Structures are given as structure tokens and as C-alpha cells.
Amino acid sequence: MKKKLLFLGPPGAGKGTQANLFCKKYGLDHLSTGDLLRDEVSSGSDLGMQAAEVMNKGELVSDDLVLSIVEGRLAKTNTGWLLDGFPRNVNQANALKRLLEKINQPLEGVILIKIDDDYLINRLLERGRQDDNKQVIINRLKIYREKTSPLIDLYAKQGILDVIEGNAEIDVVFSCIEKALGG
């Protein structure tokens, strides 16, 4: 089973849901930039307050802040890791590449969870997190298309990308991911 992983996909595709299950079963360190940023927001720090403003508009938080969070966490893991929600643009992908070279831990697999916009919007509206209202969701999808989706090609060219259909029961999606990663 591959143990240095990245999950890509539009907002609400189920990256967090699947990453949680996967890391529990295989003992990987789950590194969700969305969760880490929400922790920062809950702490009430200045950085958290700045991040909340950006997240509530559905925009991307600054690369510098996200990178410093990821760098600190990746350096500490030794059981394998799963990046969830990072990288989200080409600059973050380039920074990740440099970081992984530095710590000599090459990326082994990328999972793209693919799903139609209509399903996503309904799922997120049902979840109802602070950044889950229709206008913000539409902005998040637009940003995903503009900034994050170019990464699909980048990882496909490296031959490490598998595409999984996200519009299915959670356990069905999970089995497809396991199979793709060699389980």
C-alpha cells in the first residue's frame, strides 16, 4: 500500500471524509490544511482571524501561512502521510515538491475524487459549515477550477494520479481508493 499520498478534488468531493477513514485504517498522519486552518480560527489568534475572513468568502488563504503549517507538520511524521486539501495551486505544488525533495520523501500516489457540481452544492448545503452557503460554494468551485484543477495534469504527467468517482456511497468510494493505492 502506498503511504505518501495526496487527495485532490473540488470542495465537498469527500476528500476529508475519505482521508479520515484511510488514515485510521492504515495508520497515516492526516494532514488537512482545512482542519488546521479551522483550528487556528478557533484559537482566536490574529492569524486565525485573518484566515477566517478569507475562508468565509471561499477564497484561498495565503500560501505563506499554509506552507508554514504544512512544513512544520510534515517534518514530524515518520509513519507515512496523507495531504488533504493541499496543494491548492501551482505555487503550493512547487513548494511541496521542494519540501519533499529536502526531506527525501517522494510523493507515491495522488487520488482525484471527481464529482458533478450539482451533487457538491447539495452536499455542502446539507453540511452547513460557516463557509457552506450557496454564493460562497459557487466561489469555491470557481477557485477550484481556476487555481487547483491545473494540478490534475501536473500529477497525471508524473504517472501517479488515479481518478475515483465520488458520487457513490462512502464505503464504495473508499474501496475504489484502496484498490487504486494497492490495497
Question: What minimum distance in Å lies between the beta carbon of 81 and ligand B4P?
Answer: 15
Q: Strands, DSSP E only, in the chain?
A: 4-8, 29-32, 81-84, 109-114, 161-165
Q: Determine, following the binding rule CB under 6 A, whether residue 14 of this chain makes contact with ligand B4P.
A: yes
Residues 62-81 that bind ligand B4P (CB under 6 A): 66
Q: Determine, following the binding rule CB under 6 A, whether residue 28 of this chain makes contact with ligand B4P.
A: no
What are the CA-CA distances from residue 33 to residues 107, 143, 148, 163, 176 (Å)? 17, 16, 14, 21, 24
- DSSP-derived letter for residue 81 is E
Q: Determine, following the binding rule CB under 6 A, whether residue 109 of this chain makes contact with ligand B4P.
A: no
3-class SS at 54? helix
Q: Determine, following the binding rule CB under 6 A, whether residue 123 of this chain makes contact with ligand B4P.
A: yes
Element spanning 49, H or E = helix 46-55
Q: Determine, following the binding rule CB under 6 A, whether residue 2 of this chain makes contact with ligand B4P.
A: no
Q: Determine, following the binding rule CB under 6 A, whether residue 58 of this chain makes contact with ligand B4P.
A: yes
With contacts defined by CB under 6 A, name the span among 14-22, 42-50, 96-104, 150-158 that binds ligand B4P. 14-22
Q: Which of 176, 157, 179 is nearest to 166 (CA)?
A: 176
Q: Determine, following the binding rule CB under 6 A, whether residue 41 of this chain makes contact with ligand B4P.
A: no
Q: Determine, following the binding rule CB under 6 A, whether residue 48 of this chain makes contact with ligand B4P.
A: no
CB-CB contact of 26 with 179 (8 Å)? no
Please give the residue ranges that form the binding site for ligand B4P (CB under 6 A). 9, 11-17, 33-34, 37, 54-55, 58, 60-61, 66, 85-86, 88, 92, 123, 127, 131, 140, 168, 170, 173
